[in-house]
Structure 1
Amino acid sequence: MNFKVLTLPGWQNSGPDHWQSRWEAAYGDERVGQHDWMQPLRGDWIARLEEVLLQQDRPVLLAAHSLGCHLVAAWAAHSQQTARVAGALLVAPPDVRRDNFPPQLHRWSPTVLQPLPFPSKLVTSTDDPYCSFEASADLARDWGADLADVGARGHVNAESGLGDWPQGRAWLLALPHSSHPTES
């Protein structure tokens, strides 16, 4: 089956050297653009994802980074359109419960912690400055996502030296063929 990939950047968007931007250039993935990248409102971001998803004429794969991972969880908890999603790659979600979480992002708390209704993989680093490995593992468990450890790669962004990140792309494309963790 042919899937459309939607990229979901986090707070402040993803720059030109970010793996999401590189995937858009290389594969024609579509970025879900948000009205305000600096003062993100969860409800606005959810509505925008829903709007873009409804415009698609085929099933989608979601490639989320950072706050975009929380967008996937919050959207899935409210949408009637989750069957349109064949899988989600959730990369480097921040821990929104941290004391030093930026005040612009406080509206993203509390974290939606229910299992996602589609296959997902949460990719984390052992030295992400925005989320401990343990907190990432807890999110993966709560969201029903498989956990992948990429080692010491920081926030798994442009500064991580991933380039086109072929391993991430392979994980994304394998999601529709994996069994959903909540299936028996």
Structure 2
Amino acid sequence: MSLTASTTVVIVPGLRDRVPDHWQTILADKIANARTIPPLTHDRLSRDAQISALDDVLSDISGPVVIVAHSAGVMTTAHWARRHSRPVNGALLAAPPDFDNPLPPGYPTPETLRENGWTPVPRTPLAFPSIVAASTNDPLAAFHRVADLARDWGSRLEELGPVGHLNPASGYGEWHQAQEFVRELSLGFV
């Protein structure tokens, strides 16, 4: 994958961390200069712990950065951006969940999300270019809710069609379009 030579791609997984067959893991393995936020060993559901882990990785990087976030990793990125001003060239924000509404069974409850600092979801414009990639049938967020987030963040919205939550459970492994979005962001074509 051709990026500017000095661009570092920072992978921000969701709350379920790095999954071997996930498109983010496959993408990270294809990019020479990729860094993945390490799994937290405690306070996994803590927004502040997730933000701190992202900031720790970003603080060790000099040069251009493109963030590639999925699911709750998108929310980590949005909360991080509200608190920090490190330079970021762009962000791919794929399949953000709707933390302002109840998630399906098996996911954190609204009370758990609130207690761990995830809500309310930031709605201020991001200080860097971004692409929100959204599914039309994501079980974790209605498309119109994700479109509202994209608008509020000042992001370009990319409708992906019916791709579920864009994860292995939805049939995604490799997601080739991610490479194109990352290339656009790294070259400043957003």
Cα deviation per residue 1:111-164 (whole Å; 9 max; x = unaligned)? 011111111000010100000000000000011100011111000112333432
Classify 1:42/1:145 alpha carbon distance in 2 versus 1 (closer, same or farther; 3 Å).
same
Which residue of 169, 172, 178 corresponds with 1:159? Answer: 169
Q: Please list, as runs of the form range in 1=range in 2, the aligned pairs for 1:86-125 lying within 5 A after superposition.
A: 86-100=89-103, 102-103=108-109, 104-106=112-114, 107-125=117-135
Taking only aligned residues, the RMSD between alpha carbons, in angstroms, comes to 1.7
C-alpha displacement at 1:32, in angstroms?
0.7
Structure 2, unaligned runs of 5 or more: none
Whether the 8 Å contact between 1:90 and 1:122 is mirrored in structure 2 is yes
Whether the 8 Å contact between 2:18 and 2:39 is mirrored in structure 1 is no
Which residue of 46, 49, 65 corresponds with 1:60? Answer: 65
**Structure-2 residue corresponding to 1:18:** 22
* Deviation beyond 4 Å, 4+ runs, structure 1: none
Q: Alignment identity in percent?
A: 36
Aligned length: 177
TM-score w.r.t. the length of structure 2 is 0.86
Which residue of 151, 157, 178 corresponds with 2:189? Answer: 178
Whether the 8 Å contact between 2:44 and 2:50 is mirrored in structure 1 is no
Compare relative contact order (CA 8 Å, sep 6+) and give the higher one, 1 or 2.
Answer: 2
Distance 1:26 1:145 in 2: 25
Structure 1, unaligned runs of 5 or more: 180-184
Whether the 8 Å contact between 1:125 and 1:150 is mirrored in structure 2 is yes
Which residue of 174, 178, 184 corresponds with 1:168? Answer: 178
Cα deviation per residue 1:37-62 (whole Å; 9 max; x = unaligned)? 87421111111111110101221100
Distance 2:158 2:181 in 1: 9
Which residue of 125, 128, 140 corresponds with 2:150? Answer: 140
**Structure-1 residue corresponding to 2:7:** 3
Whether the 8 Å contact between 2:27 and 2:174 is mirrored in structure 1 is yes
